[in-house]
Amino acid sequence: MSIITRIKNIFSKIASDDLIGVALRQQSISYFVKKSNEHRCESIENKINPIVNAIKVLLNDKSLAGQCHLVLPNAYSQIVQVDKPNVPDLEINAALKWQIKDLVNIAPENMVVDYFDGPILSGGQQKINVVCVAKNDLVELVTALTDDDLDVKCITTEEFAFASLLPIQQDAVLFVCQQPNEEVNLLIVKDGQLFFSRRLRGFAQIAGKSEDELSMGTIDALSLEIQRSSDYFERQLKQAPIKVIEVLMPLKHEAFLARKLAENTNVEVKLFAMPLTLENFRDSAVAIGATQLNFMEPN
């Protein structure tokens, strides 16, 4: 079962086959238009609350037409890991609402849930990762984004949009990634599959720190979380050690942070290379990744 929730063309038919990634953030909206012969990418500061009003302003100001892939900010979704229910596949989503009701702050009757397979722990215990969103929030966002020219085709989370940027490779990669003014994500991706994800709290304002401030505890704290995630992947999931860490964080001192992480982790750390011609849009990586979701989507 895919994490991607398909939103069908309810309102109208459209002629454009452009792909448009829209990433919602706490203080801005980023969009990426993927055309056959050109690309367009921009981040727009959000001075309007709620976010729905900012979406309406965006659509009024920009000519967006095509299939929209929406990325929810972490504040709109919750991910919890639970034992896989022992019910038929068609009944799993309904069962999950009651299984996770005490783990999230959304009432079961207002939940939209989906899941992706989690790790098989030692002893053969099967886990799944449940993604939960409030239905009323989702309906409001999709309604605001859908007009005569724009059709919301899929909704995903930051984790999958970031992971879609990585090429499929046999060796696992630990991906340290972040949207501007959002929390940091730690992902482990192997063979085009998201094996592990964690949302780290307390790093949303890291972009405003100087090199000295980064060195005074911030990098050490991030290094510790990276080590914990690597240990879990290797010891609990019985996987080969992580050999490379890639960093994609929209910081002025991004290269400095990567060098310091390398000193702390004893693993190769390198800056993630954006797709050709898109290096200047690192702060819009999630919107770009949203238009490349196909290989991450399970059967």
pLDDT given for residue 51 in this prediction: 86
Residues pairing with 190 in the sheet: 193
SS3 state at 34: strand
Distances (CA, A) of 87 to 92, 96, 101, 174, 204: 6, 10, 18, 33, 39
pLDDT given for residue 7 in this prediction: 38
The CATH number of the domain holding residue 205 is: 3.30.420.40
- Domain, as residue range, for 259: 167-273
Residues 197 and 158 in one domain: no
pLDDT given for residue 38 in this prediction: 76
Residues 77 and 219 in one domain: no
pLDDT given for residue 297 in this prediction: 42
* Burial environment of residue 240 by CB neighbours within 10 A (0 to 12, 13 to 18, 19 or more): exposed
Residues 183 and 230 in one domain: yes
Residues 21 and 67 in one domain: yes
Residues 116 and 141 in one domain: yes
The CATH number of the domain holding residue 49 is: 3.30.420.380
Residues pairing with 120 in the sheet: 126
pLDDT in tens, 6-63: 434 443 444 577 899 999 998 889 999 988 677 889 888 887 778 888 888 888 888 8
Q: Give the chain's count of helices (H) and strands (E).
A: 8, 14
pLDDT given for residue 200 in this prediction: 94
pLDDT in tens, 51-72: 888 888 888 888 888 999 999 9
pLDDT given for residue 15 in this prediction: 58
- Tell me how many domains the chain contains: 2
Distances (CA, A) of 109 to 105, 115, 128: 12, 17, 21
Residues 186 and 257 in one domain: yes
- pTM here is 0.88
Q: Which of 23, 48, 45, 47 is nearest to 33 (CA)?
A: 23
pLDDT given for residue 44 in this prediction: 86
Residues 25 and 86 in one domain: yes
Residues 86 and 205 in one domain: no
pLDDT given for residue 14 in this prediction: 45
CA–CA separation, 143 and 145 (whole Å): 5
Residue found under tokens 């783990």:
103
CA–CA separation, 80 and 82 (whole Å): 7
Residues 121 and 216 in one domain: no
pLDDT given for residue 47 in this prediction: 76
Residues 173 and 91 in one domain: no
One digit per residue, the tens of pLDDT, for the chain of length 299 reads 444 444 344 434 445 778 999 999 988 899 999 886 778 898 888 877 788 888 888 888 888 889 999 999 888 999 998 988 889 888 998 899 999 999 999 999 999 999 988 766 666 667 888 999 999 999 999 999 987 788 899 999 999 999 999 998 899 999 999 999 999 999 999 988 888 899 999 998 999 999 999 999 999 999 999 999 999 999 888 889 999 999 999 899 999 999 999 999 889 999 999 987 898 999 999 999 999 875 444 33
pLDDT given for residue 207 in this prediction: 92
Residues 266 and 295 in one domain: no
Residues 99 and 157 in one domain: yes
